Amino acid sequence: MTSHRAPYRIAVLALAVVVGLVPGCSWQKIPPPPTYADAPPISVVVGVELAESSTTQAYGPGVVEHLKDRNVFQYVIWPFDPSTPVDAVLKLSIEGSWKQSKGQTFTSAILVGLTLGLLGPFLGPKTTGSHHVMSSLEASGETIVAYDYHVETKYSTGLSANKDAARFQAVSAQTQKITVELAGRLNTDRAKIEAESMPTQSRR
Domains along the sequence of the chain with CATH: 28-101+126-196 (3.30.160.150)
The predicted-structure confidence for 80-90, as pLDDT tens digits, reads as follows 999 999 999 99
Total-model pTM: 0.75
Least confident of 9-13, 70-74, 145-149: 9-13
The predicted-structure confidence for 171-198, as pLDDT tens digits, reads as follows 999 999 999 999 999 999 999 999 999 7
Judge contact between 174 and 131, C-beta under 8 A.
yes
pLDDT higher than threshold 70 for residue 60: yes
Exposed e or buried b per residue across 167-189, where buried means at least 16 C-beta atoms within 10 angstroms of its C-beta: bebbbebbbbbbbbbbbbebbeb
For residue 152, give the amino acid letter.
Answer: E
- At 116, the pLDDT band (50, 70, 90 cuts) reads very low
pLDDT higher than threshold 60 for residue 122: no
Q: What is the mean pLDDT of residues 48-67?
A: 97
Q: What is the mean pLDDT of residues 118-131?
A: 68
pLDDT higher than threshold 60 for residue 104: no
Residue 15, pLDDT score: 47
Residues pairing with 153 in the sheet: 129
The predicted-structure confidence for 28-47, as pLDDT tens digits, reads as follows 788 888 888 889 999 999 99
pLDDT higher than threshold 50 for residue 74: yes
Give the residue, 114 or 149, on which the prediction is more confident.
149
- At 162, the pLDDT band (50, 70, 90 cuts) reads confident
Average pLDDT, the chain: 80
Exposed e or buried b per residue across 21-50, where buried means at least 16 C-beta atoms within 10 angstroms of its C-beta: ebeebbbbebeebeebeeeeebebbbbbbb
Q: What percent of the chain has pLDDT over 70?
A: 71
Residue 109, pLDDT score: 44
Least confident of 82-91, 106-115, 135-144, 191-200: 106-115
**163-188 and 54-69 helices cross at what angle (nearest 10)?**
60
